């Protein structure tokens, strides 16, 4: 059997930050995005409302800003090494995030075999956000199912890595889950819990139990 490793981005691959935060920092809009993040976390707005507001806030965004945000983000160490090992084992790795697709897809450069985010128009923006392209927590499971079909595996062969309540539905859907620097709500639902800044250590929690994972 083959495993599909599904990675959240914000707060999981990125320590203590999120793609919208790093993008906004490049535009001098840290206070503004902090308020949006607060409202989203308090469930005062959903993913679509958040995305529309962020899109409007980022009217001056350029590809150079996006690249600077990506390069300067506080990534966990060992991401590329983990993904290389996953591929060498014959397994698959994918990123599924509510963050903008134009940022999430940059992780393909690091070895992810698929990267799915909320679909935003190309940067610089000349078109509005299409509500149909914005991912929700439940849509992450739909994307995971599509990836299972693409890679020829089932939910029982999936391992999810994430940090927040928006990933609870995904954790409930897959066989094995790793809470990475997670909030207590998600940590309590996880197969494994990791606190730290090295993805290799989080991945080893699954690797140590690999025979049990494959038998599930």
User: Using 50, 70 and 90 to split pLDDT, how confident is the model at 60?
Assistant: very high
User: Residue 74 in 3-state DSSP?
Assistant: coil
Alpha carbon distances (Å) from 114 to 5, 6, 169, 171, 210: 11, 9, 20, 19, 22
- Check residue 191 and give its pLDDT: 97
User: Residue 28 in 3-state DSSP?
Assistant: coil
Distance CA 69, CA 63 (A): 10
Q: What are the residues whose beta carbons fall under 8 Å from the beta carbon of 102, sequence distance 6 or more?
A: 66, 117, 120, 122, 123
Write out pLDDT tens, residues 99-139: 999 999 999 999 999 999 999 999 999 999 998 999 999 99
User: Using 50, 70 and 90 to split pLDDT, how confident is the model at 212?
Assistant: very low
Write out pLDDT tens, residues 171-198: 999 999 999 999 999 999 999 999 999 9
């Amino acid at each position: 059997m083959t495993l599909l490793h599904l990675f959240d981005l914000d707060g999981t691959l990125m320590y203590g930050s999120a793609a919208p935060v790093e993008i906004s920092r490049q535009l001098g809009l840290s206070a503004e995005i902090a308020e949006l993040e607060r409202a989203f976390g308090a469930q005062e707005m959903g993913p679509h409302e958040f995305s529309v507001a962020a899109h409007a806030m980022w009217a001056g965004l350029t590809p150079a800003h996006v690249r600077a945000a990506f390069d300067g983000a506080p990534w966990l160490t060992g991401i590329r090494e983990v993904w290389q090992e996953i591929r060498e084992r014959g397994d698959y790795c994918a990123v599924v995030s509510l963050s903008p697709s134009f940022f999430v897809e940059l992780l393909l450069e690091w070895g992810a075999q698929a990267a799915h985010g909320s679909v935003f128009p190309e940067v610089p923006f000349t078109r509005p956000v299409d509500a149909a392209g914005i991912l929700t927590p439940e849509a992450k499971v739909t994307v995971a199912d599509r990836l299972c079909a693409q890679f020829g595996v089932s939910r029982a062969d999936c391992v999810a890595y994430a940090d927040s309540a928006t990933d609870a539905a995904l954790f409930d859907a897959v066989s094995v889950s790793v809470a990475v620097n997670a909030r207590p709500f998600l940590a309590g639902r996880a197969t494994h819990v990791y606190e730290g800044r090295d993805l290799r250590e989080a991945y080893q929690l699954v690797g140590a139990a690999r025979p049990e994972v494959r038998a599930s």
